[in-house]
Amino acid sequence: MTDSRSRLRRVLLWLIPVVLLLTACGEPEWRTKDISNLMPSLAFELTSETGEAVTAERYRGQVVLMFFGFTHCPDICPVTLGRLKAVLGQLDDDAEDVTVLFVTVDPKRDDLKALRQYTSAFGEEFVGLRGDRQALDTLTKRYRVTYGYGEPDASGNYSVSHSSAVFAFDRQGDARLLIRDSDPMEAVVADVRRLVQ
């Protein structure tokens, strides 16, 4: 009786790690930052670069990459959007199922014409969005994004501080990933492709 209990105990001690290992191997980990269940789903009421009022529902069924920036940005914005353009270029036909939303945090200077010109330089998958300060603050608070304005110079120009992160949402509008500028390109491509497929 003691031998059979001892054997059973040894078998269980061997099986438990195997079961845990198999469970962990079921779903591969994301290569960028997984924010599933940490951030709310995609929701907004803004104006698109065409002047049309849009909500997040417009983009259901698409993988959405959302970035907060401004058209007068000297470095972070063009680099980030250029990087996203390169990611889409590596997705081949899957790029048709991805939309990049560029939300301006500088609606005072970024009128619809400026947004259209800016996003068109990156491709048809890029859409500029803007809103008044209330709509912008509602959206940035939803995703814990901060932004701020510097003091205007003599010509009225000012700097804008903002995040460089990109939020990735799946086809149902659920927040899935936070893509940082430090993430390797191959990791971003792999994760966006996985979201599409």
Strand locations in 70-195, DSSP E?
Answer: 98-104, 126-130, 147-149, 160-162, 166-169, 175-179
Does residue 68 belong to any structural domain of this protein?
Answer: yes
The answer to whether 177 and 32 are in contact (CB under 8 A) is yes
Does residue 9 belong to any structural domain of this protein?
Answer: no
The backbone torsions φ and ψ at residue 76, rounded to the nearest 5 degrees and listed phi first, read -60, -45
Q: Which residues of 83-109 are buried (b: 16+ CB within 10 A; e: fewer)?
A: bbbebbeebeeebebbbbbbbbbbbee
Find the mean pLDDT for residues 13-40. Answer: 69
Question: Residue 100 sits in a domain of what CATH number?
Answer: 3.40.30.10
Residue 59 has pLDDT above 50, yes or no: yes
Does residue 43 belong to any structural domain of this protein?
Answer: yes
Q: What is the pLDDT of residues 78-109, one digit of tens each?
A: 999 999 999 999 998 999 999 999 999 999 99
Does residue 117 belong to any structural domain of this protein?
Answer: yes
Residue 13 has pLDDT above 60, yes or no: no
Does residue 24 belong to any structural domain of this protein?
Answer: no
Does residue 164 belong to any structural domain of this protein?
Answer: yes
* Total domains present in the chain: 1
Q: What is the pLDDT of residues 120-130, one digit of tens each?
A: 999 999 999 99
Does residue 5 belong to any structural domain of this protein?
Answer: no
Prediction pTM value: 0.85
Mean pLDDT of the chain: 89
Q: Which domain does 74 fall in, by range?
A: 30-196
